[in-house]
Amino acid sequence: MFEFSLSASSGRARCGKLVTPHGDVETPAFMPVGTAASVKAVAPRDLSDVGAQIVLANTYHLMLRPGDALIAELGGLRAFTGWSGAYLTDSGGYQVFSLSGLRTLNEQGVRFQSHIDGTAHMLSPERAIEVQEHLGADIVMVLDECPPYPATREAVTAATARSTRWAQRCRDARTRADQWLFAIVQGGVHPDLREHSARELVAIGFDGYALGGLSVGEPKQDRLRVLDHVDNWLPADQPRYLMGVGTPEDIVEAVARGIDLFDCVLPTRNARNGQLFTRGGRVSIRNARYRCDRRPADPGCACYTCRTFSRAYLRHLHLAREMTAATLMTIHNLAYYLDTMKRIRQSIRSGRFEEFREETVRTQAAGASERAC
Amino acid sequence: MFEFSLSASSGRARCGKLVTPHGDVETPAFMPVGTAASVKAVAPRDLSDVGAQIVLANTYHLMLRPGDALIAELGGLRAFTGWSGAYLTDSGGYQVFSLSGLRTLNEQGVRFQSHIDGTAHMLSPERAIEVQEHLGADIVMVLDECPPYPATREAVTAATARSTRWAQRCRDARTRADQWLFAIVQGGVHPDLREHSARELVAIGFDGYALGGLSVGEPKQDRLRVLDHVDNWLPADQPRYLMGVGTPEDIVEAVARGIDLFDCVLPTRNARNGQLFTRGGRVSIRNARYRCDRRPADPGCACYTCRTFSRAYLRHLHLAREMTAATLMTIHNLAYYLDTMKRIRQSIRSGRFEEFREETVRTQAAGASERAC
């Protein structure tokens, strides 16, 4: 039912395939974020059109609204949302720590108040698994304790140890055989704590391993230093997922260090704010230079938005606060991200990944700078 | 280049075809409203999918943002928006009178302040034609003076007389041969003033005739009394357009009195507010009865939304304030309206229009009332 296989590598970068009950996921892969059972501003047909193979949904949001029991009653996430590809759900931990109001944490779990209506809820390792079994994703995540950044080494050590105990409880609580369970390596920016966390989790044994607690405000060099050691701690033949990352440059740098899976709100959130990712660099569509620019958002892109609309029209829609602006720019940004992943995979297979990496860093650093009118 | 022909009738209801340089429009026809060069929450592909043949855009909004000169520079509305079917633009009169802030009206035209940024603008018959020639729609409208409702008979008489003089100036100002110009019959709820207005406009001679100043708050019976006489004043062989109307029932009643063209924001605006039009009556998607309703919005509908999503999912998206709720419900409501027009045409051709009219009034009066869970 599940299988992960690697087919090519270039340095530490890996290219492979994750077989799930709901379709194959070519890795390195990017997962669009569908927080509330919807990738904001687009529909499942758009996700298929841009080549998405797996979508992430958020346990925290869905347990609060519409409720995991309702989604289970309606046949799980896939039946509920109309997205027929693979799904991954997070465990809710990150959102409980970053979004909810009052919360009390102890060994049992975390009590918190909904950010929607203030109602009281409990998330424990067992409940996180129950919710995710209700939601029915192909890949589910253990509940972890996410320390803030910055935090003392002692606080990170304690949170990491608790996360390992919770990971064990998650593993013990699962009842469905048709879901893969991934552990989450914690340890902040400390390579030794990361290694300790990873070795303990690998000893318990999971279907895949994620890196949590990164891209939370730490310097990029600290993140890369952690990633530099991934090959030493994690089994080579299992999938590795870097949670919440990131820009195209960040993704390429993480692929270079052996990561297979990514998710991030950047392409969708930036689209709603009028920021486009293009082969020529970032385009801020509000800029007056695009007022009468007849070119598509990205002349090198084949998505519906780029086949159909000019920058001038996207700019107008954005300034007029038309919802369609968000839809069209989200379609493009997701197409850009998914095409980037495709080009990453091709470059690994053809042994030209290093060239692709350098090109990405160079072009993404530059803004689109031509003047159109 | 243009042609209007009638192919069937049933009582006073007419079925025909309006040939334009950008496609045929089967009548009676409904025009989705694309105020700011975008039918809110959907893209041109959605308009094609639901069977739209002509779209309305608003002169007032577009002259203010992004400006008619810019749209002209970019090739006109069709090139700008990506909608490749026919377009109709209104003259801006109605919006100047209903949306703008301070305004001063005299025989020359109307000076007004933009509702967007307070800047001063002028709309005269000549400027209304210039803007619409810049926008490049297939059908353009004369500038009219729209009295408020209620208004004294004297005020309506004066506004109607001025509207006739402005219609003549619009006709004199036009320079493009590839656009049809429609006049607007005014006269409030007074059949004799309406007849006077119509006869004067017909004497000048236009490509089609609209009824303005209705659906502005007057009792429905007053509106129907005006429509009852349309056949007496307007040439049988030219298109007739009832501006800003209305519900499916309103449209059917107007078709029964010889109207060919309609536009209204109801299907799109109601979709954004969570109101669906269905063959079983109105569905207010917020209602708790749809919480776990697995049925599509309208089981009799073949649109993308009804093929793919349950009422339970649409309700969740709407309550979670996901933009996609608006998109999916707009697609359905437009599909419902355009399918209603298709069924109207079929019923006229098959001589069963009266049955269809009775059925529409009956089903639309009822709300969807089944309990699902």
Residue reference for tokens 């991030």 = A264
Three-class SS of residue B100? coil
Inter-chain residue contact A37 with B312, CB threshold 8 Å: no
Per-residue pLDDT tens over the stretch B267-282 = 999 999 999 999 999 9
Nearest to A330 by CA among A288, A285, A299, A280: A285
Average pLDDT over residues A279-303: 97
Residue A211 lies in a domain: yes
Give the pLDDT band of residue B339 (cuts 50, 70, 90): very high
Domain co-membership, B259 together with B290: no
Nearest to A203 by CA among A245, A226, A171, A228: A171
Average pLDDT over residues A194-218: 97
Amino acid, single-letter form, for residue A262: F
Is pLDDT at A241 greater than 60 in this prediction?
A: yes
Report the domain count for chain B: 2
State the pLDDT at residue B147: 87
Domain co-membership, A39 together with A151: yes
Q: What is the CATH number of the domain that holds B125?
A: 3.20.20.105
State the pLDDT at residue B364: 80
Amino acid, single-letter form, for residue A181: L
Domain co-membership, A10 together with A146: yes
Nearest to B360 by CA among B286, B199, B251, B284: B251
Inter-chain residue contact A80 with B312, CB threshold 8 Å: yes
Cβ-based neighbour number of residue A37 at 10 Å? 26
The rounded distance, in Å, linking the Cα atoms of B315 and B295 is 12
Give the pLDDT band of residue B44 (cuts 50, 70, 90): very high
Residue B372 lies in a domain: no
Inter-chain residue contact B312 with A41, CB threshold 8 Å: no
Residues on B contacting A at a C-beta cutoff of 8 Å: 36-38, 40-45, 61, 65-66, 70, 73-74, 80-82, 291-292, 294, 304, 308-310, 312-313, 315-317, 319-320, 322-324, 326-328
The rounded distance, in Å, linking the Cα atoms of A359 and A224 is 19
Which residue in B263, B293, B298, B339 is the catalytic one?
A: B263
Nearest to B141 by CA among B103, B173, B187: B173
Contact B25, B31 (CB under 8 A): no
Three-class SS of residue B266? helix
How far is residue A114 CA from its own chain's centroid? 23
Domain co-membership, A166 together with A240: yes
Per-residue pLDDT tens over the stretch A332-372 = 999 999 999 999 999 999 999 999 999 998 888 766 555 54
Is pLDDT at B222 greater than 70 in this prediction?
A: yes
A139 exposure class (CB count in 10 Å sphere: 0-12, 13-18, 19+): buried
Strand partners, A283: A276
The rounded distance, in Å, linking the Cα atoms of A91 and B214 is 56
Inter-chain residue contact A65 with B292, CB threshold 8 Å: no
Three-class SS of residue B87? strand
State the pLDDT at residue A17: 98
Strand partners, B15: B8
Residue A370 lies in a domain: no
Chain B: give the shortest CA distance to residue A307, in Å. 10
> DSSP string of A100-153?
-SSEEE-SS-EEEE-TTT--EEEE-HHHHHHHHHHHT-SEEE-------SS--H
- For residue A291, what are the domain limits? 273-365
Which residue in chain B has the smallest CA separation from A69? B292
Where b means 16+ CB within 10 Å and e means fewer, B247-277 reads bbbbbbbbbbbbbbbbbbebbbebbbebbbb
The rounded distance, in Å, linking the Cα atoms of A260 and A263 is 11
* H-helix or E-strand spanning residue A313: helix A311-319
Inter-chain residue contact B80 with A323, CB threshold 8 Å: no
Three-class SS of residue A292? coil
**Residues of chain A contacting residue B36, judged by C-beta atoms under 8 Å apart:** 316-317, 320, 322
Domain co-membership, B196 together with B216: yes
Domain co-membership, B277 together with B196: no
**Residues of chain A contacting residue B324, judged by C-beta atoms under 8 Å apart:** 38, 40-43
Q: Which residues, in sequence order, are CB contacts of A259 under 8 Å at separation 6+?
A: A28, A211, A227, A230, A240, A241, A242
Q: What are phi and psi of B141, to 5 degrees?
A: -115, 150
State the pLDDT at residue B87: 98
Domain co-membership, A233 together with A290: no
Domain co-membership, A257 together with A141: yes
Residue A189 lies in a domain: yes
Per-residue pLDDT tens over the stretch A99-142 = 877 899 999 999 999 989 999 999 999 999 999 999 999 999 99
Give the pLDDT band of residue B148 (cuts 50, 70, 90): confident
Q: What are phi and psi of B81, to 5 degrees?
A: -95, -15
**Residues of chain A contacting residue B81, judged by C-beta atoms under 8 Å apart:** 313
Is pLDDT at B283 greater than 90 in this prediction?
A: yes
* H-helix or E-strand spanning residue B68: helix B68-73
As a whole number of Å, the CA-based R_g of chain B is 20
State the pLDDT at residue A368: 52
From A196, A230, A264, give the residue that closes a domain.
A264
**What is the pLDDT of chain B when averaged over all its residues?**
96
Average pLDDT over residues A324-333: 98
Residue A63 lies in a domain: yes
Nearest-10 crossing angle of helices A323-349, A248-255: 20
Question: What share of chain B in percent tops pLDDT 70?
Answer: 98
Domain co-membership, A84 together with A216: yes
Cβ-based neighbour number of residue A3 at 10 Å? 10
Give the pLDDT band of residue A148 (cuts 50, 70, 90): confident
From B232, B264, B296, give the residue that closes a domain.
B264
Contact A45, B304 (CB under 8 A): yes
Domain co-membership, B240 together with B331: no
Residue A322 is nearest to which of B36, B313, B322, comparing CB atoms? B36
Inter-chain residue contact B304 with A45, CB threshold 8 Å: yes
Inter-chain residue contact A36 with B326, CB threshold 8 Å: no
Residue A372 lies in a domain: no
Domain co-membership, B323 together with B348: yes
Picking from A305, A309, A313 by the largest number of B CB atoms within 10 A of its own CB, the best residue to mutate is: A313
Contact A163, A184 (CB under 8 A): yes
Could you confirm whether B263 is annotated as catalytic? yes
Amino acid, single-letter form, for residue A358: E
The rounded distance, in Å, linking the Cα atoms of B119 and B96 is 13
Residue A218 lies in a domain: yes
The rounded distance, in Å, linking the Cα atoms of A117 and B159 is 53
Q: Which residues, in sequence order, are CB contacts of A76 under 8 Å at separation 6+?
A: A134, A135, A136
Contact B157, B194 (CB under 8 A): no
**Residues of chain A contacting residue B40, judged by C-beta atoms under 8 Å apart:** 322-324
Give the pLDDT band of residue A98 (cuts 50, 70, 90): confident
Three-class SS of residue B139? strand
From B264, B283, B312, give the residue that closes a domain.
B264
Structure tokens at B174: 């036009």
A359 exposure class (CB count in 10 Å sphere: 0-12, 13-18, 19+): middle
How far is residue B182 CA from its own chain's centroid? 14
Per-residue pLDDT tens over the stretch A61-85 = 999 999 999 999 999 999 999 999 9
Contact A121, A63 (CB under 8 A): yes
Residue B371 lies in a domain: no
Domain co-membership, A256 together with A152: yes
